[in-house]
C-alpha cells in the first residue's frame, strides 16, 4: 500500500458539495435562461438589433464554456469517487486507471468508461 491517507468521509463531503455546485451551475445555464436574457435585449427592434446579435453570440459562446465546466465537474466527481473506492479496496492500479480516465473524460465529456467499468451503486 502507498502512504496516502485518504479520509473517505472527507472526500464524500467534498464530492457532495462540488456535486451541488455543479448541479446549480448546470441548472442556471439552460436554453430557457438564455431566451429570457435575449428577450430582454431584443425589446428595441431594429434599433437594438446589433446589441441583441452581439449579446446572443456572447451568450452562446459562454453557454458552451459553462457546459464544458459542468461536464468537467461531473467527470471529476465520478472519477474521484471511483478512484477512492478502488484505493479503499486495495486496488491501487485501478485507482490510478480511474484517475487517468477522469482526465480523459473531463476533456472529452464522454463518461462511458465509468458507465462500463465504474463502481455501481
* 76 contacts 102 by C-beta, under 8 angstroms: yes
Q: Which pTM was predicted?
A: 0.75
Domain ranges in the chain?
Answer: 8-117
Cα torsion angle, 13, 118, 105, 27, sign = negative
* Cell of residue 114, nine digits: 465509468
Q: For residue 2, what pLDDT band results from cuts at 50, 70 and 90? A: low
Neighbours of 81 (CB within 10 A): 19
pLDDT tens-digit map of 38-53: 777 777 778 778 888 8
Cα torsion angle, 59, 60, 65, 67, sign = positive
Q: How far is it, in rounded angstroms, from Cα 94 to Cα 76?
A: 16
Amino acid at each position: 500500500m502507498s502512504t496516502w491517507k485518504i479520509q473517505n468521509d472527507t472526500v464524500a463531503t467534498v464530492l457532495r458539495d462540488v456535486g451541488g455546485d455543479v448541479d446549480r451551475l448546470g441548472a442556471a445555464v439552460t436554453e430557457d435562461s438564455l431566451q429570457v436574457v435575449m428577450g430582454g435585449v431584443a425589446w428595441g427592434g431594429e434599433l437594438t438589433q446589433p446589441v441583441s446579435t452581439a449579446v446572443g453570440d456572447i451568450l452562446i459562446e459562454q453557454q458552451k464554456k459553462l457546459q464544458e465546466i459542468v461536464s468537467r465537474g461531473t467527470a471529476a466527481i465520478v472519477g474521484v469517487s471511483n478512484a477512492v473506492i478502488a484505493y479503499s479496496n486495495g486496488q491501487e492500479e485501478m485507482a490510478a486507471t480511474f484517475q487517468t480516465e477522469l482526465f480523459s473524460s473531463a476533456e472529452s465529456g464522454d463518461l462511458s468508461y465509468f458507465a462500463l467499468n465504474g463502481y455501481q451503486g
